[in-house]
Amino acid sequence: MFKKIDHVELVTERLEETVAFYTEVLGFTVRLRERIPRSSLGVPMDIAYLSLGETGVEVMHYDGAPVKPAPEKEHAGYRLLALEVDDMERALALLAEKGHPATWGPRTGPRYVRAEIHDPNGNAIELRQWLASGTS
């Protein structure tokens, strides 16, 4: 019945900067963009549907609606988006070249290597490389 997570939604005050980060830095593609003249909040909303393989991120911006800042410490609720990488060292080098160095890690465990970066909104993105003995 249930097949997969279709997408994760991010609400931002900086739509274009966020879309640029996910596409130009992380390699997502824009699947669709649309403007909803009157959202559930009663204000216009712009949406960018982004894809990376089967991973979807829906970036939303509500005109004039306040956005809570991303959490700075551990909290209940949405914590982060995790992306699998095939080569952690190469991924971190590329991200650093583009001005987005790791904010945590890398840390190597018996079955994986983990690190984190943040998007322009402060949302955490985990990078995970599964080692040969691990499974994805």
Cα–Cα–Cα angle for 100, 106, 109, nearest 5°? 155
Q: HSE (CB half, 13 Å, CA atoms) of 53? A: 7
Residue 58 predicted with pLDDT over 90: yes
Residue 71 predicted with pLDDT over 80: no
CB neighbour list of residue 103: distance below 8 Å, 6 or more residues apart: 116, 117, 118, 124
Q: Which fold has domain 8-62?
A: 2,3-Dihydroxybiphenyl 1,2-Dioxygenase; domain 1 (3.10.180)
Nearest CA among 86, 95, 87, 90 for reference residue 116 = 95
Residue 135 predicted with pLDDT over 70: no
pLDDT band at 5 (very low <50, low <70, confident <90, very high): confident
Q: What pLDDT digit, counting tens, does each position of 81-127 carry?
A: 999 999 999 999 999 999 999 999 999 999 999 999 999 998 899 99
The one-letter amino acid at 50 = L
- pTM value? 0.83
For the chain, the structural domain boundaries read 8-62, 80-130
Beta bridge partners of 115: 127
CATH level 2 (architecture), domain 80-130: Roll (3.10)
Do the domains 80-130 and 8-62 match in fold?
A: yes
